[in-house]
Amino acid sequence: MSLGSFRLDSGGLIDRGRKISFTFDDRIYHGYHGDTLASALLANGVRLVGRSFKYHRPRGIYGLGSEEPNALVRLRQGARAEPNIRATQIELYDGLVAHSQNNWPSLRWDISSTLGLFSRFLPAGFYYKTFMWPGKFWPYYENFIRHMAGMGRSPEAPDPDRYEKRHGNCDVLIIGGGPAGLAAALSAAKGGALVWLADEGARLGGRCLGDGNETVRETIATLASLENVTVLRRTTVFGKYDDHLYGLLEHTGDHLASPARGMPRQRLWHLRTKQAVLASGAIERPLVFANNDRPGVMLTTAVLHYLRAYAVRSGKRAVINTSNDSAYRAAQILAAHGIEIAAIVDHRPGTKRRDMPGVEILPGHAVIDTSGGRDLTGVTIARLAGNGDTVRGSERRLDCDLLCLSGGFTPCVHLYSQAGGKLTYRQDIQSLVPQSDVPGMLVVGAAAGEFGGDEFAGGEAAMGRPISLSKSRRKQFIDLQNDVTAADVELAAREGYRSVEHVKRYTTLGMGTDQGKTSNLNGIAALASALDKPLADVGITTYRPPYTPVTIGALAGREIGVFLAPTRRTPMQDCHEKAGAVFTPAGLWQRPHYYPRPGETATDAVNREVLAVRRNVAVVDVSTLGRIDLHGPDVVEFLDRIYINGFNTLAVGMCRYGVMLRDDGMIFDDGTVARMSETQFIMTTTTANAGPVMAHLEYYLQVVWPELRVHLTSITDQWAVAAVAGPRSRDLLDSLDSSIAFASQAMPHMAWRAGHIGGIPAQVFRISFSGELAYEIAVPADHGHALWELLLATGGGFDVIPYGTEALTTLRTEKGHFVMGPEADGRATPGDMGLRAMLSAKKDFVGRRSLRLPGLAPAGRLNLVGLIPVDGGSSIPAGGILLQSQVAGPLPDKAGHVTTSVFSASLDKPIALAMVRDGRQRLGEELWAHSPLDGRIIAVTITDPVFIDPKGERLRA
């Protein structure tokens, strides 16, 4: 057959003026603008396009759209390569490159197809029955299975294209642009509704594409002219979600070699509608018989589609195998376009159709086998007997290169099912159709089983049921993509996997990338025969979204790379960057971890920063701490109920440290509260808990104690805060132009003052985390940068340096301060942290009642303690587990664990904090810190957690 002879000289919706070249498996072919890859391949006489999943059988183009099970290719190259794309949905563009997949060394000669020889030993679920001995071999078997499975290859480079998300709202969403959808859109639009219409295809028209239907053409034109109608072509409605939200995937750039400039490749729509109209049509059902999978075996509607829309003949001589009347009209059209009809083989014994002069019509017959190698050369037919599922009499062979199958039509009810709709079996069309409306969704046209006209009239034959060929071992495929045969379904039933869901899972029926669009109903029919049950009683597997596969990139949208989550920056962030800080993530923030100088190691830098705080003065950015403004007459009462300690004695101008619990008695957060005025307070929270604490406070205020008159405002973002710490911090502040008196008498420990520093309005809080004399200076966020520069200006001779969170960790460890996370890990009570004295006896507070539960009683709980190495020099393994002995027996009793381990530059030795069972009563005892992860076991002594200045003289200095 010469190349090109499959294309008709005229007709079709292609643009013959625009010739396009493309390659498939490295061979150059030509097609026209308006072609799909499938139509262009067929036009070039390319019939073999892929290999099947399990047996690597040769396969050709089978369908016309998203139902295609066979023709999956690897499209494009390099970073744009993508596997498993259906040739039927690829619009041809100049330079298109596609490759077949799942074969080696080539599509024609695929070694793995020899698997077919052993297929009798590889029935459905064979892997459950073997590969168990010897047990240690399983990884090898598995490796082999994994390499045999899979379809295409994953891309290896990051995606160069962009994806976008948009939100839309409308009154009516029409799903499907075939005749029913178009009619629905028009009538809704005429009623003034805001209408959106989405269709998978590049052109509207559905099954009327290219058939010259005038009404359809006019409707499309009218819709295009209406302002209240939005038409989305190349757009799949893939899922129905709660409250009438639909997920739509618009292929904005897939029909081009690469997306147009400034355009995304795909756009994901979240479309909320009041009403949806499901007009998704119906998909033709194949018939099941031996070797029904060769290239050249196609759905009749597909053959028609290629002829009308692309002017492509899918073959030269066709046999039509049908069980309904629609194929007769198709046969006429095929014949009219020069495809020879060898015969119409009709399963129905009683059919009276005789309207094709010159064509042999064989009622009560079926195709029972096909012949050919990688291409169809003929079919075997026989007369049917019994229920139409057994064969009688002699077989006959017919030569053909095209076999058109038409086993009836299956409505596309996926979205209806996703919306919770129930299906019912209709005998006349032998299909499952919507039982009743679901709120907000109307099903119309073929999707509702209304096929209209005689074209789609059904028949009485056993559509889609496999024909029982008792001794035959030849494969009768039901699911072409996953190579599930009628025998597999029978085997499942025989072995007791009788629920449809069991059959699906045992055989993998319908679990391919086509989601069984052509196989599900035939599978049910096969199961019904195997179980000898009416089809209606077999049930159906649930349809799971999406309707067709959705690109992961489109689901992620712009939330990729650094945009995965917002990055929060403090007002001083660029100062840190300029200073060469190494950053560490803290929630959404990036905080300076330390500021290395040239040639310094991390340890050097941290030690230098720690010593600067202990001996001189240094500055840290604490803008990330949460800040909440509390206002109102009942704030004190509220704070008393929230914190474990009391606040009614807190004077204006002073601050107090507080700890809050969850109601289950566990520490939730800690921070300070400053009293700004009689009725206004500012609370700080830990960085990580800024959001949760705010929500916690709002919960108690709004839900539990609505009678309290307190107003909350989160002000974290309004302030920039720097902590100045070290014995010379006051000297530094005194050296600056400020309206505030920093002397201890004027501003004692835990006092706060307002004023200005260097002309910047500021609130200064004398609080300390490091245990040194320290001030936290809060300025309006806009001034943060200026404040930081002012503090770090080298002019005053203070040699001020910035320090990061690692030094902060060392400093607080030296002081024995616990933090949320390592020590207070959501399982710790105030008693565990040695805070019993803080618990107010005078009032109730959140979490207090839980502290009386038996499990929270002090005895036997983990307590915060310090650790030092017995040898004085070994570092204590972070995350080490503390045991009584050096030798860890099996399942040893744990005494506790190391929570924070640092080298204390101030003390010049390693120290650690730990949580130890009854630890406070065990000071001085020795334990072993085990870290099997790095093979270390270190003897440690339990100490008080406060290593430096236990009396707090330095911070009060």
Interaction with other proteins in 569-608: which residues (CB under 8 A)? 584-586, 593
Nearer to other proteins by C-beta: 692 or 952? 692
Select from 41-49, 524-532, 676-684, 932-940 the region that touches other proteins (CB under 8 A). Answer: 932-940
639 touches 630 (CB < 8 A): yes
By the rule CB under 8 A, 534 interacts with other proteins = no
Site for other proteins in 828-847 (CB under 8 A): 844
Nearer to other proteins by C-beta: 136 or 352? 136
> Which residue's entry shows tokens 């292609």?
14
Instruction: Say whether 748 sits in a helix, a strand or coil.
Output: coil
Nearer to other proteins by C-beta: 50 or 247? 247
764 touches 786 (CB < 8 A): no
Rounded Cα–Cα distance for residues 924 and 914 (Å): 14
Site for other proteins in 189-248 (CB under 8 A): 239, 241-245, 247
Select from 188-196, 203-211, 554-562, 605-613 the region that touches other proteins (CB under 8 A). Answer: 554-562
In Å, what is the CA distance from 455 to each residue of 328, 331, 428, 446, 459? 8, 12, 14, 12, 12
> Pick from 396, 894, 920, 922: which binds other proteins (CB under 8 A)?
894
Q: From the CB of residue 718, how many other CB atoms can be counted at a distance below 10 Å?
A: 13
Site for other proteins in 364-423 (CB under 8 A): 418, 420
By the rule CB under 8 A, 104 interacts with other proteins = no
Instruction: Say whether 480 sits in a helix, a strand or coil.
Output: coil
Nearest distance in Å: CB 832, other proteins: 12
Nearer to other proteins by C-beta: 796 or 879? 879
Rounded Cα–Cα distance for residues 818 and 614 (Å): 19
By the rule CB under 8 A, 664 interacts with other proteins = yes
Select from 44-52, 349-357, 704-712, 949-957 the region that touches other proteins (CB under 8 A). Answer: 704-712
Beta bridge partners of 903: 910
Question: Which tokens in the block code for residue 387?
Answer: 């229920």
By the rule CB under 8 A, 743 interacts with other proteins = no
> Pick from 56, 59, 812, 930: which binds other proteins (CB under 8 A)?
930
By the rule CB under 8 A, 755 interacts with other proteins = no
Rounded Cα–Cα distance for residues 70 and 461 (Å): 27
Question: DSSP letters of 284-296?
Answer: EPP---BTTTSTT
Site for other proteins in 26-65 (CB under 8 A): 53
Site for other proteins in 270-329 (CB under 8 A): 270, 272
Nearest distance in Å: CB 451, other proteins: 29
By the rule CB under 8 A, 18 interacts with other proteins = no
Selection from 191, 51, 26, 157 nearest residue 113 by Cα:
51
Nearer to other proteins by C-beta: 158 or 759? 158
Selection from 243, 289, 236 nearest residue 267 by Cα:
236
Q: How far is CA 497 from the centre of its chain?
A: 32
By the rule CB under 8 A, 255 interacts with other proteins = no
830 touches 661 (CB < 8 A): yes
DSSP conformation class of 817: -
Select from 203-211, 757-765, 823-831, 904-912 the region that touches other proteins (CB under 8 A). Answer: 823-831
Select from 174-182, 311-319, 545-553, 717-725 the region that touches other proteins (CB under 8 A). Answer: 545-553
> Pick from 398, 792, 856, 939: which binds other proteins (CB under 8 A)?
856
By the rule CB under 8 A, 468 interacts with other proteins = no
Site for other proteins in 472-491 (CB under 8 A): 473, 487, 491
Site string for other proteins, 506-525 (x = CB under 8 A): x-x----x-x----------
Beta bridge partners of 312: 7
Question: DSSP letters of 86-143?
Answer: EGGGPBP-TTEEEEE-S-SB-SSSBGGGGGGGGGGG--TTHHHHSS-SSGGGHHHHHH
Beta bridge partners of 318: 341, 402
Amino acid at 298: M
The C-alpha torsion from 410 through 412 and 416 to 417, rounded to 10°, is 60
Select from 304-312, 338-346, 518-526, 852-860 the region that touches other proteins (CB under 8 A). Answer: 852-860
Question: Which tokens in the block code for residue 464?
Answer: 């889609």
Select from 80-88, 284-292, 391-399, 452-460 the region that touches other proteins (CB under 8 A). Answer: 80-88
Question: Which tokens in the block code for residue 73?
Answer: 């290719």
By the rule CB under 8 A, 795 interacts with other proteins = no
**What are the φ and ψ backbone dihedral angles of 148, each rounded to 5 degrees?**
-75, -35
Nearest distance in Å: CB 546, other proteins: 6
Nearer to other proteins by C-beta: 46 or 819? 819
By the rule CB under 8 A, 562 interacts with other proteins = yes
In Å, what is the CA distance from 686 to each residue of 587, 619, 942? 11, 18, 28
Select from 42-50, 360-368, 529-537, 885-893 the region that touches other proteins (CB under 8 A). Answer: 885-893
618 touches 609 (CB < 8 A): yes
The C-alpha torsion from 559 through 563 and 566 to 567, rounded to 10°, is 160
Site for other proteins in 110-149 (CB under 8 A): 120-121, 123, 126-133, 135, 138-139, 142, 145-147, 149
> Pick from 23, 258, 468, 499: which binds other proteins (CB under 8 A)?
499
Select from 549-557, 571-579, 735-743, 753-761 the region that touches other proteins (CB under 8 A). Answer: 549-557
